[in-house]
Amino acid sequence: MARKEYAFYPGCSSQKGASASNYLTSVESMCKTLDVKMTEIPDWNCCGASISYAESGELPRLVMNARNFALAEQNLPGQDIVATCAACWLGSRESKERLEHSSVLMADTNTALKEAGLNLKVIPEVRHMVEVLIEDLGYDELAKPVKKPLDGMKFAGYVGCQTNRPFGIAGESFENPMYLDKLVESVGGTATQFDQKVTCCGGALAFSEPDKAQAQIKDIIEAAYDSGAEMLVTPCPLCQANTEVYQGQINKKYGTKFNMPVLYYSQLMTLAYGGTAKEAALDGNVIKARKLEEFAAK
């Protein structure tokens, strides 16, 4: 019996072969070491993300999330829902808030859920993986299993938007949250003074309005270099993808020479806990984190 159990909501991008599959792999390795049991919510569905707003309308979006709640409540009673993806976490938490705030929406939602043979009574807590690490385990616990501290490696902790606003992590400020830096330090790494840690990466506009988004991404990477960081670390799949995969195009457009690996906190922790490059899914990085690969090989 694991010391903690949660209803796991991996989200679309974290599935095998999807854009954040490396996130999933490293989270699994990390949780194994920390003895945290994550049981996937059976037949979970997409949260709709923020971007679906213009097509979905309000109720359909709520209902999509409500379905996940109902499935969790039914199959994993009493367990908090834990999401690793910022968008999934935000979408679910927002839905929870609105449904709990409006009896009308709750009633309509259940009417709709009935069509899928489901019913929603109590909405479980919806939490981000990071919250579990910080609040349920704590930095000291996270430091304990460290076998290979990431000595001398400099990371810019890029928190981004949706794990930070509007809900954020308890006790952290919207403008200068420290938890990611603390996570890095708890596994022996060095967090740099990075003043773009909560700047938006452009989110979904990276697809629809690449120029606007890439202008913002440029600021972020630049600041990371200025801060003396060798790598970027983030808790959000979209932040990860946007800041990583467009560096080449930005180099073309702005004549910059960006080549900065972007990792998930879970990858760093896996490595520090003695995990292999494979377990940390370093192969999943488009911009290879050579330094970490060597570190893992040692």
Query: Rule CB under 8 A: which of 141-170 touch another protein?
Result: 161-162, 165-166
Q: How far apart are the first and last CA of the chain?
A: 33
Q: Tell which one of 245, 253, 256, 293 touches another protein (CB under 8 A).
A: 245
Stretch that binds another protein, among 49-57, 74-82, 124-132, 148-156 (CB under 8 A): 49-57
Residue nearer to another protein on the CB measure, 67 or 154: 67
Of 7 and 213, CB closest to another protein: 213
Per CB under 8 A, the segment of 32-40, 183-191, 257-265, 278-286 that binds another protein is: 278-286
Minimum separation from the CB atom of position 151 to another protein (A): 27
Q: How far is CA 125 from CA 1, 188, 258, in A?
A: 21, 31, 40
- Check residue 255 for interaction with another protein (CB under 8 A): no
Nearer to another protein, 187 or 284 (CB): 284
Q: Which of 6, 13, 29, 126 binds another protein (CB under 8 A)?
A: 13
Least Cβ distance, residue 257 to another protein (angstroms)? 16
User: Taking CB under 8 A as the criterion, which residues in 22-41 touch another protein?
Assistant: 22
Least separation in angstroms between CB 202 and another protein:
6
Pick between residue 166 and residue 274 the one whose CB is nearest to another protein: 166
- On whether the CB atoms of residues 40 and 114 are closer than 8 A, the answer is no
According to CB under 8 A, which residues from 167 to 226 bind another protein? 173-176, 195, 199-200, 202-205, 207-209, 211-213, 215-216
